[in-house]
Structure 1
Amino acid sequence: MTSVVIIGGGPGGYEAALVANQLGAQVTVIDRDGLGGSAVLTDCVPSKTLIATAEVMTDMAAAPELGIHFRDSEGDTATNVVADLAQVNARVKLLAAAQSADIEGRLTRRGIRIIKGTGRLGSGAGRGGGDVIATLASGAEETVHADAVLIATGAHPRVLATAQPDGERILTWEQVYGLTETPTHMIVVGSGVTGAEFASAYLALGIEVTLVSSRDRVLPGEDADAAGVLQDVLERRGMNILSQSRMQGVTRDGDTVTVTLSDGRTVTGSHCILALGSVPNTEGLGLEEAGVKLDDGGFILIDKVSRTTAPGVYAAGDCVGGFMLASTAAMAGRIAMRHFLGDGVQPMDLKQIASNVFTSPEIATVGWSQAAVDNGEVQAEVVKLDLQGNPRAKMQGIKDGFVKLIARPGSGVVIGGVVVGPRASELIHPISLAVAANLTVDQVANTFTVYPSLSGSIAEAARRLHQVG
């Protein structure tokens, strides 16, 4: 029986394990922290659970506009809605642990062996078959033969010598769920996806937030129109955004945290979250000895079917960089196993990856971007339709957001799109289907939508891109 060893039990690892098992391989997963990896235990699932609470708080803030008022038993109007952060974080950790246990149970029921420990490539690895060495918590070692190995070891938060987390008031995004007291002023350093999501969430929970951004706007890597809407909303809700402000260091004095900027300015608060990017977990795995090449940042180099430069060694997930998404990791892991085990496989197409920023409002994107159109990388026509004209949006009190479609001139084939608004993560799916299936704007426009619905704006944007003649 063909043997597969997977190092790392995150989305890239456990999804690969399920596929390899389905295809008849003998599968061993070596996992250190718990099935589901950081996506389930310290990153995606926890952060989105926290954000779910923040969404309810945002909805409640808008309730009076819809005719909903909160009154106590005496008939007086309630003036404050508060979130119990200790209870919120307890729920976050409970759900994360339950999800991890569900994944472990699923693998165990399928007969997949799970070794709790760390793994590294051993003798013969990278030559089309070899050994993987598992180091257990006790320090004991076990050698497992593998015809193929998948590296899915993930990444960890980047920190600086001048900004060291203490796990109490200076925090990485993995440490925030230990908070039991509500911060009075949260300083978030970094305006990428992680920083923007936490800044938006804590603001919605009623906490004063300052966002320190080294760039000229929030979310510099996202659609400029979308980022502009989000920044306007966050500032309107009271967030202090310090643009073009690079952090020099972070210090703590008792209950006060001070962030020093490179121009000498300082910002003080009760807590600070460092959202400075990720470092791949690729050290100590025996990669170089096996012939696995890394880029300058330490990320593993792979091709479109997840192969590394060493025969029989594949990689998936955050340890390879690129789109650091749970969905991308899972797809790359599945592709790796299908390729190795001879099943039908379609190489990953980066232009079909849908991603979402879970801020309020959400920002979802897929395919070619507006920036690529503007700089001449691709020829396309673009239509942007604000949601404030959508009847369902009016009913729900939605004032911010839009739908943007990007299509090739002449053929009208949809090659990209952006959605900004509540539940954009759900609304992007029909656009993703159009991109993946090479649908034209006319095909999208001529598909029935429910009236009234936010998805009606997608069809309307498609109608505006109709090719006459």
Structure 2
Amino acid sequence: MPPVSRVVIVGGGPGGYEAALVAAQLGAEVTLVDSDGLGGSAVLTDCVPSKTLIATAELMTEVEGAAELGVEVSHDARAAVRVDLARVNARVLRLARDQSDDIADRLEHEGVRLLRGRGRLDGPDRVVVTGEHEESLPADAVLLATGAAPRTTPQAQPDGERILTWEQVYGLTELPEHLVVVGSGVTGAEFASAYLALGAEVSLVSSRERVLPGEDADAAAVLEDALTRRGMHVLAQSRMASVARAGDTVTVTLTDGRTIEGSHCILAVGSVPRTPDLGLETAGVETDERGFVSVDRVSRTSARGVYAAGDCTGVLMLASVAAMQGRIAMWHFLGDAVSPLDLKKVSSNVFTAPEIATVGWSQQAVDRGEIEANQLMLPLAGNARAKMQGVHEGFVKLFCRPGTGIVVGGVVVAPRASELIHPVSIAVAQSMTADQLAQAFTVYPSMSGSVAEAARRLHQF
């Protein structure tokens, strides 16, 4: 019998635990080293907690629109329905812990050895574990999945009480009177939208002309209009210089000298990789200028036998991408069938109100001439189900190749857009034409009917 491959994985987030499950399935001897809790930031401090918080915010958004549907709450829905943030956050943390425990149970059931401690490369074929458990582990392959941490600056240091990173908000027991969110990317926009729905006064500091500068411009405009109409203060082209606290007041000073005073501040100014002290140089693992581990499309680093996955690589920092990178790494190392990572088939979502979901080629890429594509944008205002539910904002946008009609991208702006993007994702992944997408039956009335309708209208192209 051939010798059993020894795989050591450093980091228990989606990139790490999904890789461990694949490696175990393919017969490898797998050890997973983790120091912060299985599930990583995705489960413990980021995706699962934030989307659980947002689930409560979604309910509050629906309550605000109840009167239009004939449900009388009071003249002021926010005053009639109050959020108990302590209970909300207790539920958030409980669900995160439960999900982490479920992952541990699954790994142990599949025969993965779990070690609590910090892993460090000692050359490309050995991992030294320190901390709670100390051991030197020989490895035929190593996967680094150590994730990333919230970026801070010397001028804006979190204190965990009123100046917070997005990992620290779940300790709040009372709703902020006035929350200042610094950063209008995905994380900043999500928290700003959520706390606005929960009933807080919110100011969003954006260094760019609009919120979500990396997303579809039409979608970002719809979101910004919705947020400002609901009372958010959006400070465009405003860059933070410093954040300071005096008692119960937090002051955000902008580079132009203006100041914003609030009760709390969330810093959402990017991420830094957790790659220091990993022994990368001694193992020959290269990083980019920001410290992210450089990988190819099958997750290989520059060191033979060393792979990396997830946020520590800086490759489209999504839990779904991290998980796929980890799986691909193990499929590649253990000789199973593998397709290189294709970012043009990745669907993503911004969990604001409304949500923004995207897949494939973007409007920006089309405008820059990176790909030739016909496009069609269909507002949801004409959708029967949208009218029934009191939805006035949003649209479906599709991109297809001229001549062939193959769908290469799409955008959905709507409540639960994260669910509505799936048929478009299938079309992109399977190189379906707009006609094929249009000819699939949809339920009437349904929001998804607008996806098929947009595809039908593309037939003229």
Q: TM-score, normalised by structure 1?
A: 0.96
In structure 1, runs of 5+ residues without a counterpart are none
Which residue identity is paired with 2:53? L
User: The residue matched to 2:68 in structure 1 has which SS?
Assistant: helix
The question of whether the paired residues in 2 share the 8 Å contact of 1:70 and 1:78 is answered with no
> What is the CA deviation profile of residues 313-348 of structure 1, one whole-angstrom value per residue up to 9, with x for unaligned ones?
000000000210000000000000000000000111
How big is each residue's C-alpha offset from its partner over 1:390-412, in whole Å with a ceiling of 9 and x where there is no partner?
00100011000000000000100
- How many Å separate the matches in 2 of 1:141 and 1:449? 57
User: Contact 1:31/1:118 (CA < 8 Å) preserved in 2?
Assistant: yes
Q: Which structure 2 residues correspond to residues 139-158 of structure 1 after superposition, within 5 A?
A: 141-158=134-151
* Paired residue type of 1:136: G
Q: Classify the secondary structure of the residue corresponding to 2:138.
A: strand
- Please state whether the residue corresponding to 1:372 is helix, strand or coil: helix
Amino acid aligned to 2:25 = Q
Q: Name the residue aligned to 2:233.
A: 240
1:300 counterpart SS class: coil
Q: Secondary structure at the match of 2:393?
A: coil
* Equivalent position to 1:206, from 177, 199, 203: 199
Match of 2:11 in 1: 8
Spell out the pairing of 1:99-110 with structure 2 (5 A cutoff): 99-110=99-110
- Alignment equivalent of 1:70, drawn from 66, 69, 73: 73
Tell me the alpha carbon deviations over residues 347-384 of structure 1, each in whole angstroms, 9 at most, x when there is no partner: 11010010100000000000000111111111000000
> How far does residue 166 in structure 1 lie from its aligned partner after superposition?
0.2
Q: Distance in 2 between matches of 1:326 and 1:164?
A: 27
Is 1:131 the equivalent of 2:134? no
The alpha-carbon distance between structure 1 residues 78 and 160, as it changes in their structure 2 partners (threshold 3 A), is closer
Letter of the 2:295 counterpart: I
Letter in 1 for 2:93: K
In structure 1, what is the equivalent of residue 80 of structure 2?
Answer: 80
After the TM superposition, which parts of structure 1 deviate over 6 Å for at least 4 consecutive aligned residues?
A: none
Gaps of at least 5 residues in structure 2 are: none
Partner of 1:283: 276
The yes-or-no answer on 1:98 pairing with 2:98 is: yes
Q: Which residue of 2 aligns with 1:54?
A: 57
Which of 30, 35, 45 aligns to 2:33? It is: 30
Please show how residues 305-454 of structure 1 align to structure 2 within 5 Å.
Answer: 305-454=298-447
Give the structure 1 partner of residue 451 of structure 2.
458
Show the counterpart of 1:166: 159
Q: Are the counterparts in 2 of residues 410 and 467 from structure 1 also a CA contact under 8 Å?
A: no
How far is 1:70 from its partner? 2.9
Partners of 1:412 and 1:440 within 8 A in 2 = yes
Taking the aligned partners of 2:421 and 2:286, their CA distance within structure 1 comes to 35
What is the CA distance between 1:77 and its match in structure 2?
9.7
Aligned residues: 458
Identity among equivalent pairs (%)? 69
Distance 1:287 1:448 in 2: 52
> Cα offset for 1:68?
1.1
Task: Measure how far apart 1:78 and its partner are.
Answer: 9.5
Q: How far did 1:34 drift? A: 0.6
Residue 297 of structure 1, CA deviation: 0.5
Question: Is the Cα contact below 8 Å between 2:73 and 2:80 reproduced in 1?
Answer: no
Secondary structure of the structure 2 residue equivalent to 1:461: helix
In 2, Cα distance between the equivalents of 1:192 and 1:322? 16
Superposition RMSD on alpha carbons, in Å? 1.3
Tell me by how many angstroms 1:111 deviates. Answer: 1.2
1:244-276 alpha-carbon deviations (Å, 9 max, x no partner): 000000000000000000000000000000001
- Counterpart of 1:366 in 2: which secondary structure? strand
Cα pair distance change 1:265/1:79, threshold 3 Å: closer
Q: Distance in 1 between matches of 2:279 and 2:79?
A: 59
- Give yes or no for contact 1:412–1:467 (8 Å, CA) kept in 2: no
Q: CA deviation at 1:40?
A: 0.3
2:292–2:312 Cα contact (<8 Å) kept = yes
Give CA deviations for 1:175-209 in whole Å, capped at 9, x if unaligned: 00000121100000000000000000000001000
**What SS does the corresponding residue of 2:459 show, helix, strand or coil?**
coil
Look up the equivalent residue of 2:98 and give its one-letter code: A
Q: CA deviation at 1:459?
A: 0.7
